[in-house]
Structure 1
Amino acid sequence: MAAVTGVLGRKGVAGVSGAVAGAGLQFALVVVVTRAFPPADAGAFFTATALALMVAGVAKLDAGNGLVYFIARARTYGYIGISGYIRAAVVPCAVVACAAGAVLYPRLGPLAVALPVIVVGDVLLAATRGFGTVRPTVLLDGMAVPGCQLALVAMVAWAAARGEVSGAGVVGWLAFAWAAPYAVVPVLAAAALHGRVPRGRYLPGTARDLWRYTAPRSVAGAVQAVFQRVDIVIVALLAGPAQAAVYTAATRFKVVGQLANQGLAQAVQARLVRALACGEAGLARELYQTATLWLVLLTWPVWLAYAALAPVVLRVFGPSYGSAAPVALVLAGTMMVATACGMVDVVLTAAGHTGMSLLNLLAAVACTLVLDVTLIPAYGALGAVIGWSGGVVVKNLLPLWQLHRRYRLHPFGRHTLTALRLRAAA
């Protein structure tokens, strides 16, 4: 237990540190945009970036998680054939992303051009995590990209304040500033893989094996990408870009929970896959419960503070954003429930139940869409966060029940108490 807690602790702290840094930088970016530009322009920018990330999430085909799965399992025989798996993952994703960029260029402009770069960079970063390292993901995705985005967006805001950028061109320049930092990610991620991937011939059946496992998750990954950001797009369509700006600002802190969960999942996913593949249910339970404890300890203080200080915090975005405090309260409560479930979907997919995960996500998206369409026209941003909250609850409680029924896995248990004592001693 001490060894698991130590390894998970080191990697988890690294992943979550990157998540916290990334969340802080993204929060600062939203502050700059809402302070420097009118709500209509800010909302248009937030809607465009949400749409771009949603499309990129679909185009990734969840190939990254497929690579983590196969690379982690290949450790036992010297990573033979891994280069073939990486090629089999990258090429289809790049093709889909290029096609999506071509179709959406009239709507997204520079963001459409960035889609293939975003997708390829993400898949290559996932491959590095399959080898058990989270450093490239933390440094590039967690720090470098959001840091450069903040710097470039701040430059656009400064130019707008001087009158050098104005009118319809504002959103275009903001989109370019946001998209440009992604250009370096594929190059640096490929460099991080250099030396880790042994050279070898392409093994027959590699692509078939990869996509047989990944295909259900490709659909699930697409649904997850839609679920994460469709609410901003729907708010913009049903209530206008100004309400989309208010909703984005008030829910910006949800990225803290999402990135913290992602950071811990990246730290533990490869080891969890190996444990379940080898039938080591006790180790899988230990990893799950320890990760859940870390997630709760790291994020619940943030949510409690945000709920208590929401009226003050929201005024950072501008005087008109302080009225969104009820949105923040719903967000904080929902994220506390979600984090208490731990990385429940990661455990479910690591056990091989990708089809079941897809059905859960479809149920969550359906819940969100029904509530959004019903509530947003009357309640705006508050209706949107209620819809999102309903989807999050469904997305977490369904797999929690499924893991309990099939494996008797729970997010809390005797490993939680042991990990808590070890953490206190440390």
Structure 2
Amino acid sequence: MPGPDAGSGGGPNLNKLARGGALNLVGAGFAGVQGIAIVSVIAHLYSARLAGSFFAATSLFLILSAVAGLGTDAGLLRWLPRHLALGDRRAAGRTVPIALVPVLATAAAGGLALALAAPWAAGHIGADDPDQVAGMLRVLAAFLPIAAAHDALLAVTRGHGAQRPTVLIDKIVRQALQVAGVVAAAQVSGNAALLALAWVAPYLPCLLAAIVWYRRIARRPVQAAGDGAEPVPFRLLAGDFWRFTAPRSIAQICQTAFQRADIVLVAALSSPTEAAIYTAATRFIPVSQLATQAVQNVMQPAVSRLMALDDKAGAQRIFAVCAAWNLALCWPVHLAIAVGAPVYVGSFGERYAGSGEIATVILAMAMLVATATGARDVMLLMAGRSGLSLANQGTALAVNLVLNVLLIPPLGIAGAALARAGGLLVRTALALVQVRRILGMSPASSGLLWAAGSALTCFGAVPLAVRLAAGDGAGALFAGLVPGTVLYLVLLWFGRERLALTAFTSLLPGRGGQKTAIAVPDPASARSIHVPGN
């Protein structure tokens, strides 16, 4: 469905989003396979006790990495495209150290704190063998500044509109090195510290690659502020950046804690073995989130630019189209996992079955709701509402933690799944209402409904009917998913106009694709727009 003024060169078009999204999807596919592979490798090559302690330790590392990131990924993806859209490349360049220096300082302090607290933390998440877990935590602590710098620099490249660095460096190379390193470490010895080193060491070469890539971008000719305007004072530039980013830094911590704290709590309140089962059972969530991130990575700078140019209609169009694309990608995964939970959980080993199936189904159902409502948080952030994003993330985390403490002791990992599902639904509902009431935007569209109906039919009804008739085995699941997948592709083809899938024809050799542009005002007319920091 072409937008107005298809020939306008002023704004991003859906062909461009499709190209960037397709590239990110390739990376998401690689990362998803490697994410499942690394959990499967650890589950099969190491004891459930050591695997659970490792998953808890790396979850703690990722939470601390989010703390050290200070929300600068969202800040960079909001401010860099805005400066560039208004022709001020100098301000864009000066924003990078404003973000990066505090991140490095915080990461160094966090790494030191983790190293010093390693014995205490190991006593809680690795009670069976605290010395080995303490060794893991010390190794991870040494790499915390490297990981934080790696993530921040890749966010800088995305802010400049370059998607390839994140896809190649983070989604493909880093995770491939992690899988290879974990396999190699298992062949050498079963030492926990060596396992942690194999997992975290790839951040170093990937950081060096990110630095090289950013330097290539930074060497491009720098123009003065548009129309010969005076450069924005450094203090004002930093103030605007951190007024928006400071609430986001806390929200980022809440978001990562929401995704990872339950693994740590299962290890502490139940056992490391249960934490390993829970990690395996819920591994499909990060995999499906990779598809969501693939869409959001191209959506964020486009929405930021349109918001800067006061094009609300263009931003709404991107919101609705990307919501439909996201649902079309994620619902098949969640429905197939829910229907085939016995096969999915059993693939990690017999000891992972049973309670792991219940947790998988609970969270797959919750994820259907979350992925049906679009990138709500992105819309709030790109509109400068980082305070609301913080409130939503904090509320969801509070609900999650309280329910975890109440439900894990009596219900085990099923209780942890119910806790995460509760927090997820609260966060989704809050953001959806806010986007509608404050921004006047909605993810609803005919394409969203078409994708939802198609996915429910092809990955819910069809494989469930086959499972009821033929049993729970892998063969029955395969027999249901193959015709379901074929039918789904056919339905997507018939609904391609509603879903704006015609934008992807630009990927075909020798085809420019249907121009699906979103007209925006001339940047010169938008330079006087005031953009609040929060």
Q: TM-score range by the shorter chain?
A: over 0.9
In structure 1, distance between residues paired with 2:82 and 2:496: 28
Match of 2:91 among 67, 76, 81: 81
In structure 2, distance between residues paired with 1:351 and 1:133: 22
In structure 1, distance between residues paired with 2:501 and 2:249: 37
TM-score, reference length from structure 2: 0.75
Corresponding residue for residue 289 of structure 2: 258
Corresponding residue for residue 242 of structure 2: 211
Corresponding residue for residue 222 of structure 1: 253
1:285 to partner: Cα distance: 0.8
Q: What does the per-residue CA deviation read over 1:331-357, in whole Å, with 9 as the maximum and x for residues that have no partner?
A: 211111111011110111111111011
Q: What does the per-residue CA deviation read over 1:230-271, in whole Å, with 9 as the maximum and x for residues that have no partner?
A: 111111110010000000000000012222111211111011
Corresponding residue for residue 273 of structure 1: 304
Corresponding residue for residue 162 of structure 1: none
Q: Which amino acid aligns with 1:352?
A: G
Match of 1:115 among 135, 144, 153: 144
Contact 2:358 2:414 in 1 (8 A): yes
Match of 1:176 among 186, 197, 201: 197
Q: Which amino acid aligns with 1:284?
A: A
Max Rg structure = 2
Corresponding residue for residue 370 of structure 2: 338
Q: What does the per-residue CA deviation read over 1:45-67, in whole Å, with 9 as the maximum and x for residues that have no partner?
A: 00000000110011100112111
1:190 to partner: Cα distance: 1.9
Contact 2:321 2:499 in 1 (8 A): no
Change beyond 3 A, Cα 1:268–1:421: closer
In structure 2, distance between residues paired with 1:98 and 1:283: 41
Match of 1:349 among 361, 381, 398: 381
Map 1:34-49 → 2, pairs under 5 A: 34-49=43-58
Corresponding residue for residue 211 of structure 2: 190
In structure 1, distance between residues paired with 2:96 and 2:502: 41
Contact 1:90 1:120 in 2 (8 A): yes
TM-score, reference length from structure 1: 0.94
* RMSD over equivalenced CA pairs, Å: 1.8
In structure 1, distance between residues paired with 2:372 and 2:170: 25
In structure 2, distance between residues paired with 1:6 and 1:136: 20
1:302 to partner: Cα distance: 1.1
1:419 to partner: Cα distance: 4.9
Q: What does the per-residue CA deviation read over 1:192-245, in whole Å, with 9 as the maximum and x for residues that have no partner?
A: 122423568995223222212211111111211211211111111100100000
In structure 2, distance between residues paired with 1:418 and 1:314: 34
In structure 2, distance between residues paired with 1:276 and 1:87: 24
Match of 2:274 among 243, 253, 261: 243
1:113 to partner: Cα distance: 0.7
Q: Which has the higher helix share?
A: 1
Change beyond 3 A, Cα 1:307–1:101: same
Change beyond 3 A, Cα 1:130–1:109: same
Corresponding residue for residue 469 of structure 2: none
1:148 to partner: Cα distance: 0.3
1:407 to partner: Cα distance: 2.3
In structure 2, distance between residues paired with 1:178 and 1:57: 17
Answer yes or no: is 1:388 the counterpart of 2:420: yes
In structure 2, distance between residues paired with 1:312 and 1:24: 17
Corresponding residue for residue 401 of structure 2: 369
SS of residue paired to 1:411: coil
1:422 to partner: Cα distance: 3.9
Give the count of matched residue pairs.
418
1:6 to partner: Cα distance: 1.8
SS of residue paired to 1:410: coil
Q: Which amino acid aligns with 2:105?
A: V
Q: Percent identity?
A: 37
Corresponding residue for residue 295 of structure 1: 326
Corresponding residue for residue 353 of structure 2: 322
1:415 to partner: Cα distance: 6.9
Change beyond 3 A, Cα 1:379–1:249: same
1:423 to partner: Cα distance: 2.0
SS of residue paired to 2:444: coil
Change beyond 3 A, Cα 1:268–1:251: same
In structure 1, distance between residues paired with 2:23 and 2:150: 20
Contact 1:250 1:314 in 2 (8 A): yes
Task: Specify every segment of 5 or more residues in structure 1 that has no aligned partner in the other structure, as ranges.
Answer: 160-164
Answer yes or no: is 1:70 the counterpart of 2:91: no
Task: Specify every segment of 5 or more residues in structure 2 that has no aligned partner in the other structure, as ranges.
Answer: 7-12, 119-136, 225-230, 449-494, 506-534
Contact 2:321 2:500 in 1 (8 A): no
In structure 1, distance between residues paired with 2:372 and 2:287: 14
SS of residue paired to 1:420: coil
Q: What does the per-residue CA deviation read over 1:380-420, in whole Å, with 9 as the maximum and x for residues that have no partner?
A: 11111111111111111111001111222111225757853
In structure 2, distance between residues paired with 1:118 and 1:202: 31
1:82 to partner: Cα distance: 2.3
Contact 1:83 1:202 in 2 (8 A): no
